[in-house]
Amino acid sequence: MRFLAFSDVAQLFDRVHKGSRTFTLRQIQDMPPEIRKCISSVKVKTENLTAGDGAQDTTVEIKLWSKTDALQLGARANGWLKDKVEISAPEEMLSLLDRAKARARGSG
């Protein structure tokens, strides 16, 4: 889960021109293994985006696993998050609290 928590989506892309902001998606086999582990699904769609030009355009959609969910599950697994809080107290403390509650209600 560590790789998912610290993943950087920039590792999905290569810079095409060094000085510009033009990027291209890396081939999956060229992505670092820790980034490939973050991929939930890949959809590839080939279609003609501009009518009449006769060219086929390919759209790639990459969905990553949720960082928030992974961090939450990791925190639970390590005991850093608790769904239920248990409080224990010595018997003397409980009887003292019971007497205070009774006094507050006016019956003690």
User: Taking the model in full, what pTM does it have?
Assistant: 0.58
Overall number of domains in the chain: 1
Q: How far apart are the first and last CA of the chain?
A: 56
Q: Please, what is the average pLDDT of the chain?
A: 85
Return d(Cα 82, Cα 70) in angstroms, integer: 16
pLDDT tens for 89-98 read: 888 988 999 9
Q: Which residue range is the domain that position 21 belongs to?
A: 2-105
